[in-house]
Structure 1
Amino acid sequence: MRAGAVHLPAAGRPAGNAPARPRQFDADLADESGLVVGASRATGQPVVVDPFDDTRYANANIGIFGHSGAGKTYLLSTIAMGALGLGAQVFVIDPEHEYGRLARRLGGHDVELALGSGHAINVLDLRGDVHDEATLGPAVADAVDLCGVICGDLDETERATLEAAVRATFEAVERPVLGDVAALLPASSRVAQILARWVRGSLGQLFSRPTNVDLDAPIVAFGMRELRAEMVAPVHYLLAEALWAKIKWKDRRRLLVVDELGLLFEDATVRRFVVSLARRIRKYDGSLVFATQNPGDLLSGEAGAVVATNPALHFFGAQRPGEAAKLQRAFQMSEVQRSGLETARRGEFLLSAGPARLPVRVQAPPWQASLIAERHGMVEETCHS
């Protein structure tokens, strides 16, 4: 057993052959290093978890469940800042645009993805030699797939025509954008007519300009509150491909934080992206961190259940009785643990970390708490009142 860490059997598991009375909770959890997330509600001792400790945890993913007002935003902010302090890069997918000011305060970027925002991500950014098919092939496929998301299902002829146009564009233009591809398509074709609108004007500023978002910043928050309905799927695809490309570089630890996952999970592009990340991100020294206020919606579908149950670490906050019962069944909670979710106050969570089940009160270290209060308009005690 490592010094400073408490390793206890899972709740309800008898020790040896003795029919021990099920233990409802563990008392403390203190990994040797990691994220300070608060204090044990039983002992008051600091709770420190290191999601990247592969001797303890199957992956570095973290799932957070709690109804509105449970303290999820505060907890996500605490985790993000703790990871930054340990040298990781943090990307935040932010449907309600709640993390932008915090990102700026921490030396990162607030990227509002909306018409007229001035931000652009270029699907044709090439990360390698244009003459290397291992580099070019995936880039061509990404561009064709984005066009498919914009234009609707592509038939085989349209897909072949698009692929030829993308390859010709890479040969002819040093730093191509989507508008260069559209210019090579037959003007009367369905795809060319649809793309013409997306490579000009306000839409073109986002989809057909060189990338001007610094994806190497320590923290980047992507706000999506002002996205128009028709832009949702294309923006999700564009962002998913850009972030996945960064994660696969495996040059540093990265956290991808997804707030209100239940809202985003309705989009098929996000659903595929998140399921793939949950299964594969650990291979690239990364961590998927998500929060949702509707666990039942995730657990009701196969893809959602994969994502909900995949993390090695879970924080279960205040729940309504129906949602608490669903979590109890999915995560084999005791009656006492389920009841605790129904009566939990803001900032009180049940932490499931490997075999340990620990009631915690989330509290960021002082410097983090002051930033959260400043950037989110909170007072330090709000999380616990």
Structure 2
Amino acid sequence: MKKPSTNPSLSQFGDTFRNGSEVLSKSTATVKKLIANNLKHHLLENDSKNNHTNKNHQSFSFYEGASQDFIPIKNIQDEMIITKDGRYLSVIEILPINFFQKSKDRKASIARSFSEIFQNKYVRWQLKILRDSGDSFETINNIKKNCPKQINPSVKDSLNNYCMYLHQLAAKGSIVERFFFIWEYSGLDGVKSREENEIAQAMRIEKASIIQSLHDCGNVCLSHKDENLFISEFLYMYFNRNTRKKESIYERYSRISEDFRKFKLMTGIEKELTYSDLIAPKGLYFINKNYVMEDGLYYGYIGFSSNSWPTGVYTGWLNRFNYGADVDMDIIGKFVPPNISMALLTQYQNATHADVSALYRKGRTEKADLKLAKYQNVKDVIDNMNAGADIYDVCIILTVRATSPNELHSHIREICHDLKRKCHIQPDSCYLCCEDYFRLCMPFLYTSPTFSRLKHNVLSTKLGCFYPFTSLTINDPNGFVLGVTEANQTLSPDNFNTNYYVNANMLILGTSGAGKTYTEELIGHRAFLNGKRCFYIIPKKGYQYKRGCSIVDGLYVQLVPGSKHCINLMEIRPEGKIDLSQIDDDTIVLNESLLAKKITNILLWINVQLDTPMTSSVYAQLNKILISLYASFGITDNNDSIFADVNKTSLKKMPILSDFYAAIPNESLYENIKLVLDTWISGSCKNMNGQTNVDLNNPYIVFDCDEDIIGDRLLPAFLLIAFEMVYSVVKSSTTTRDIIFLDEVWKMMTNLECAKLVYNMIKIIRGYLGSAILATQEMNDFLRGMQEYGESVLNNTALVILLRMNENDLNRVAGTYKLSSDECEKILKFRHGDALVVSNGDKIKAHIIPSKRENDAFKDDTVVA
């Protein structure tokens, strides 16, 4: 799946694209051509006239034949394209699903939901499928923009290595597909408003209806903070398939703006930057009979002749015509008014009926049978129209791109051969009509003589068969690249994408040796390079993460008895404001005091170490003792009391465990409590009795809580310290996206209250721009250890990565993720690096691919001290 850029709106570059701005009536040429054609003329004219009047708005001749002439945009505003001929269009980008994995009934349901879109009688619409060779341009730009600590040599080397890896991955021929639906404002019952506010409101209502129908199909429609900017980027990408890899729309804006500024200084002529200037390709030529030259590439077109369409098709049949990268597909429709179509059909039916009768009388039975079949077909269409169906004229066009005329000719010949010999479809050539094809395929919904030649009548109830979103791809430039799919498509999910995932949580399941640790590190490493903060809590073999930590200048913390590191359990950290829109409606979030939360967690930490839970009376007394202790440090239920200054730049000194110990009375009632604390004050864990000495500002931290050193009895307590601190760090900042990796988290969750704490975090963390990634190779222990919360945790992870699993564990999850017997068989036979990614109910088989630098850092071959 590929998500559009989230760069700021074009309005931030200046006032050129303010609402209501007018595009010049005549398209302009590039600045270089303007200077070449007009500069000398203007300078000579000014010298001869010796005219000192204001020349800012002088008229001048424009360069003829500029590519801007073919961009008919008057403005982009209110989520609409306003064309120069006064039409209003809008665009939606749709993410595909794994359609062919669905059941027969579900496929039929999807087709019905899709056909509901066309009940709105859109006067013109277009389904545009763009296919490109996988390129890493946008992903690399995001990484270079988002990666922290780039001046550090290790981080810089990792960044360069990742970029090189992405270039190599793209060079292997991966394919990126993007799907768009474009429609034109049709008015209400054919009556169009002239008020732009009313038109914009009507288009928003239509958009919501389309999105709902696609949602019923299982598709996600991308939304954007700035829809006008999304439309601009889409158009720029469409017309500049070559240039966009080297120059973004923002870089073009800056370059042209600077050229216009220089032009004004030289000529005194003020030129306004328009959308046509911004979007037009670098070069557009129709000088050859067989192809179009656009933006340094050669374009050819293949239409499906209307009389050769197959008579019976299944939903998803268009997938047959996926000819790989550099071959786009357009399905273009035009509404036929029922009064016109009904009159023509009735006339044709009557004439056909007369022909049939005449042929039977003459004994020409074979021809009569053919005519009778046509008569019956027309009768069925009329019956459907009487039942409320509409007719659309529809055409299908393939656009083929190449870097040379010979390559283009060869590719078109291969496709035409396949269409004729294997699909029995007669291809329509673009010979002598390339410009007509070009205008027809543009996302501006122009019809042309070519459309009239290619159009095929289709009932609105049958348009469900044209459902094209059948091949799931996850290629998000804001995400982490996991590897490639079976179809050689780059797999790059962004688990923070709210358009696609209901939460940002992930689950990694795999047996020993399947690559669970490897996968965790690879995800964290690449997410870090794309600007995410990553925190690992590792209860087993944490040393395996040390090398990976070092190549991004991360912090490796041994949180074990006797180490040099200390996390002050009693430290209270501030919390940012939670975004309630990002969490489930049934999740209860209390704005309680930070002090109350901390005291609850301290008492929970003590409880997990007791043989029997503390009594209610002891709990209540310890609660009072802690309130009094914090008060002595100036900390109360007022959350601002934790700060040492009014500007809230630093925290007050916090009590430590020995302060708590000293505040507890020497009474038999508290004997067990003091015995627990003894271990942390004067025993083997006394290194934890102090202020925090770990740099929690480091964006990549591994907490090694090795159970072989800590022991089973104290392991939950150490894990809880790390968990509570990391979670507080995540909650303290709502401006960064954070990931908490919880490896074998069930080890700290044998206590019901601990399990509840982690479960609540998993449900709430998205509200703090956070994500939890859980990993285990012990599925039975995971579900048993998390007690009643195990299944709930599985249901709150939107993205699941299944590595090789043993049969027992696989049986536990097969029902949860609706795995088929074939999928289960594949998982049992997975090799290291193979994975089945489960996303929104769809499954994608993938291969996880590291770079050499990552492989050297992550592979488990040498124990690192």
Query: Shared fold by TM > 0.5?
Result: yes
The Cα of 1:270 is off from its aligned counterpart by: 4.8
Q: 1:27 and 1:116, CA in 2 relative to 1: closer, same or farther beyond 3 A?
A: same
> In 2, are the aligned partners of 1:247 and 1:286 still within 8 Å (CA)?
yes
Aligned amino acid, residue 188 of structure 1: E
Q: Does 1:237 align with 2:237?
A: no
Equivalent in the alignment of 1:16: 111
Query: Residue deviations 1:153-198, cap 9 Å, x none?
Result: 2223322332232223223345311111211221233133542343
Distance change in 2, residues 1:56/1:158 (3 Å) = same
1:383 matched to which residue of 2?
Answer: none
Mapped to 1, the partners of 2:528 and 2:747 lie a distance apart of 26
Cα pair 1:51 1:60 within 8 Å, conserved: yes
How far 1:378 moved relative to its partner?
Answer: 5.9
The equivalent residue for 2:348 is none
Note closer, same or farther for the CA distance 1:128–1:362 as it changes in structure 2 (3 Å cut). Answer: closer
Distance 1:203 1:354, change over 3 A: same
**Secondary structure of 1:99's match?**
helix
Hey, what does 1:178 align to over in structure 2?
Answer: 657
Matched, 1:40 2:485: yes
The aligned runs of 1:211-230 (5 Å cut-off) are: 211-225=692-706, 226-230=709-713
Paired amino acid for 1:37:
L
Q: Is the 8 A contact 1:299 1:308 kept in 2?
A: no
The structure with more radius of gyration: 2
Q: Is 1:293 matched up with 2:777?
A: yes
Alignment of 1:158 with 2:618, yes or no, is yes
SS of residue matched to 2:557: strand
Pick closer, same or farther for the CA change 1:309–1:252 going to 2, 3 Å: same
Q: Which structure 1 segments of 5+ residues have no match?
A: 380-385
Counterpart Cα distance in 1 of 2:314 and 2:613: 59
Q: What is the TM-score when the length of structure 1 is the normalising length? A: 0.85
The verdict on how the C-alpha distance between 1:269 and 1:102 changes in structure 2, with shifts beyond 3 A counting, is farther
SS of alignment partner, residue 511 of structure 2: coil
The answer on 1:247 being equivalent to 2:730 is yes
Which of 674, 678, 684 is the equivalent residue of 1:202? 684
Farther off after superposition, 111-120 or 302-311: 302-311
Distance in 2 separating the partners of 1:271 and 1:338: 29
Of 534, 538, 555, the residue aligned with 1:90 is 534
CA contact (8 A) 1:77 1:372 kept: no
Show the counterpart of 2:603. Answer: 144
Per the alignment, in what secondary structure is the counterpart of residue 832 of structure 2? coil
Deviation (angstroms), 1:124: 1.8
CA distance, structure 1, for counterparts of residue 856 and residue 753 of structure 2: 34
1:4-42 deviation per Cα after TM superposition (whole angstroms, max 9, x unaligned): 885115531313159979x9x95633224311000112x
Structure 1 equivalent of residue 239 of structure 2: none
Find the aligned partners of 2:704 and 2:573 in 1 and give their Cα distance.
25
The one-letter code matched in structure 2 to 1:44 is N
Q: 1:74 aligns with which of 512, 518, 525?
A: 518
- How big is the shift at 1:62? 1.1
Contact (CA 8 Å) 1:51, 1:61: kept in 2 or not?
yes
What whole-Å deviation, never above 9, does each CA across 1:86-144 have from its counterpart, x for those lacking one?
Answer: 21111111122121332233212111121111221112213369xxx823332333333
Q: Is the contact between residue 554 and residue 701 of structure 2 (CA under 8 Å) also seen in structure 1?
A: yes
Distance 2:818 2:767 in 1: 28
The CA deviation at 1:323 is: 2.9
Identify which range, 296-305 or 334-343, moves more after superposition.
296-305
CA distance in 2, matches of 1:331, 1:143: 37
Contact 1:126 1:135 in 2 (8 A): yes
Question: Is the 1:38–1:361 contact (alpha carbons within 8 Å) kept by the matching residues of 2?
Answer: yes
Mean Cα deviation higher: 302-311 or 196-205: 196-205
| Alpha-carbon offset, residue 70 of structure 1 | 1.4
1:92-107 map, 5 Å: 92-96=536-540, 97=542, 98-107=544-553
Which residue is 2:565 aligned to? 119
What SS is found at the alignment partner of 1:16? helix
Distance 1:3 1:181 in 2: 51
Residue pair 2:522, 2:854 contacting (<8 A) in 1 also: no
Cα distance, 1:196–1:188 mapped onto 2, change above 3 Å: farther
Gaps of 5+ in 2: 5-93, 113-312, 320-469, 576-591, 634-652
Candidates 809, 831, 844, aligned match of 1:358 = 844
Distance in structure 2 (CA, Å) of the matches to 1:89 and 1:19: 47
Residue 49 of structure 1 is matched in structure 2 by: 493
Residue pair 2:560, 2:710 contacting (<8 A) in 1 also: yes
For 1:3 and 1:150, how far apart are their aligned partners in 2?
A: 47
1:27, 1:40 within 8 Å by CA — same for their partners in 2? no
The alignment-based identity, stated in percent, is 24
User: What is the alpha-carbon distance in structure 2 between the residues aligned to residue 69 and residue 264 of structure 1?
Assistant: 23
| Residue deviations 1:217-246 (CA, integer Å, cap 9, x gap) | 111111122212231222122222212212
Once residues 65 and 128 of structure 1 are traced to their aligned partners in structure 2, the CA distance between those partners, rounded to angstroms, is 34
Alignment match, 1:382: none
CA contact (8 A) 1:102 1:372 kept: no
The answer as to whether partners of 1:9 and 1:355 remain within 8 angstroms in 2 is: no
Higher relative contact order (CA 8 A, sep 6+): 1
Is the partner of 1:49 in helix, strand or coil?
coil
Q: How many residues matched? A: 369
Q: TM-score when scaled to structure 2?
A: 0.40
- Any conservation in 1 of the 2:547–2:857 contact (CA below 8 Å)? no
